Amino acid sequence: MITGVKVHDHGEGGGGFGGGLRSRARGRSLVVGAAAGLVVWQILALIVGKTTAQGQNVVPPLQTVLTSGVTGLSHFYKGGLGARTTLQGAPDSLGLALLAMVQNSAVSAFRVWVGYLLAVALGLPAGLLIAAARPIRQAVGAIAGLLRMLPLLAMSPLFTLWFGATDRAAISFVAFGAFWVVLLATANAVGNLKPEVIDYPRTLGLGPFRSATQIVLPAILPELRGALMLAAGTAWACGLAAELYGIQSGLGWALGQTLAYSLVDQMLVVSGVFVLLALASLRLVNYGSGRLTRWSE
């Protein structure tokens, strides 16, 4: 596995195929991509709106998304932040919609981050143990690979049945989904180390625990950067899936409500908020792991 590597063209001029390739998108690229997507959506909305009777509802134009699509989110505000809810007679408004998104985003982010950190805290030592002990690796490796291939979306309702429609169900499901990514990546990274990295400390009398924590773990961190980001993305996907089934709060719940009532304009806004939070999380994980592996650059 190769992660965190920049690829440059060392030929003349640096303009060959792949010469500008990098492992992560820059801010300008993201802005250009988002703008292009909005333009395509607006063109599609105009075409569908003129050719089908329900076009405005199926593919709403951007002006609809930015007006009723935003203020309509006021219904997802549950109170507690100093303002009345729509159930208490408050009209839809931009301020109430903002409170709704802040409230549900905070709930979702809490579940995702707790589950993600739990997955990393369990997945790293489990991966080191599997890689270090051959009998455990043979016994657990195949099972771990099989469990990793299970369809996560299909398993989400099971966690709601087991733990109820609670934070515990969502956190457990997020941890479950991200755990296998971290575990398998850790075991694979240890397997990719040169034998002398593991054997030499033993000749100096370093015990298994100190060798794993002081030698092996720092040595595999550069390779784990990509896996940690992948696990963070998996965590957000699992968090969204968990909130779609029974849980009455969070961005996944709000998205499920827009799907149930075919509120496409509101669906787009909630999806946009979700994407921004997930992207910010990936950037944060990348920054944090980069700080820990500066020595390897």
Mean pLDDT over residues 75-92, rounded? 92
Q: Which residue has the higher pLDDT, 180 or 133?
A: 180
Quick one: how far is CA 240 from the chain centroid?
Answer: 9
Q: Note the pLDDT tens digit of each residue in 215-254.
A: 778 888 888 999 999 999 999 999 999 998 889 999 999 9
**Where do the structural domains in the chain lie, given as residue ranges?**
1-48, 73-296
Mean pLDDT over residues 204-220, rounded? 74
Query: What percentage of the chain reaches a pLDDT higher than 70?
Result: 80
CB 189 within 8 A of CB 223: yes
CATH of the structural domain 73-296, one choice from 3.40.50.261, 1.10.620.20, 3.40.50.720, 1.10.3720.10: 1.10.3720.10
Q: Note the pLDDT tens digit of each residue in 152-182.
A: 777 888 999 999 999 999 999 999 999 989 9
pLDDT at res. 117: 97
- Residues 6 or more apart from 171 whose CB is under 8 A from it? 111, 114, 115, 118
Assign 98 a pLDDT band (cuts: 50, 70, 90).
very high
Give the three-class secondary structure for 188: helix
Sign of CA dihedral 181, 183, 186, 187: negative
Comparing CA positions, the residue from 146, 114, 145 lying closest to residue 236 is 114
CB 228 within 8 A of CB 120: yes
